Amino acid sequence: MAGPLDGKVAVVTGAGRHKGIGRYIALALARDGADVVVTGSGRSPETFPDAEKEIGWRDIESVAEEIRAMGRKCLPLVTDMTKAEDAQRLADETVREMGRVDILVNNAAAGRGSDRVPVIQLEESEWRRVLDLNLTGAFLVTKAVGAKVVAQGEGGRIVNISSILGRQGMITSSAYSASKAGLLLLTQVLALELAPQKINVNAICPGLIGTSRMDDVTAPGPIRDMVMRTTPLGREGYPEEVGDLVSFLCGPGGDYVTGQTINIDGGRVMS
């Protein structure tokens, strides 16, 4: 049965975590017919969450196996998004191995770390780490991969995964919020610049999503209770839901949608 993305090739960055948004985006695109290139940072297995260790998870290699089992092609590539040469290699190898590229999803992002402190306590190195991956990395990959899409002359899609923290500040999130807010304005500029080439560019802002990086927040307790009190739908989101939204934007249903920022947050920003 033909899918809405049959014949398309997608690149999804940051797609190696078993319980991560990137994996579910890649799976949704493959389910709807796309062949997929998945990138990861080359995490050491010693750093994997216990749940991944227990199932013998192998980062982007495991995701590639899942996609191939769906009857689609998949190319896993370890990529340092902060290096221009790596971004160019990603674009070149995608076209060389897959024949074309139609969709880019900028999902890779810095995990919470020692950046989550008040601004006056924030180390410059942490500020740069977060901005380099979340914003500069998206710029470098978009520049390299986007040039391939433009050269094909057949249109395409770019989806940037931002965050509700890019729309609504929260204490101790200065670097992350600044990077994600920057991604929203980059989305708008790209949408204007690439519209003549029929390339639609949109951003998605997830709220609390049940990923491994957020296990400490979604676990029963006072932190989760506080978040749920400010979330009208009263639950966390699922990474599958983000994947479905991305695939919609990349398919025929998203043909007339560009330059938009879409919250998927259970109504939290609205409230």
| Catalytic center residues | 176
Which residue in the block uniquely carries the two structure tokens 């520049």? 143
Taking the alpha carbons of 13, 170, 269, 187 in that order, is the dihedral positive or negative? negative
| Amino acid present at 5 | L
- Which value, to the nearest 10 degrees, does the dihedral of the CA atoms of residues 136, 137, 143, 144 take? 150
Q: What are the strands, taking DSSP E only, across 118-164?
A: 156-161
What interhelical angle do 21-31 and 60-69 show, nearest 10?
20
What 8-state DSSP symbol labels residue 237? Answer: B
Q: Contact at 8 Å (CB) between 108 and 162? A: no
Distances (CA, A) of 13 to 40, 104, 224, 250: 7, 8, 28, 15
Which residue has 């390299």 as its token pair?
144
Write the burial class of residue 124 (CB in 10 Å: 0-12 exposed, 13-18 middle, 19+ buried).
exposed
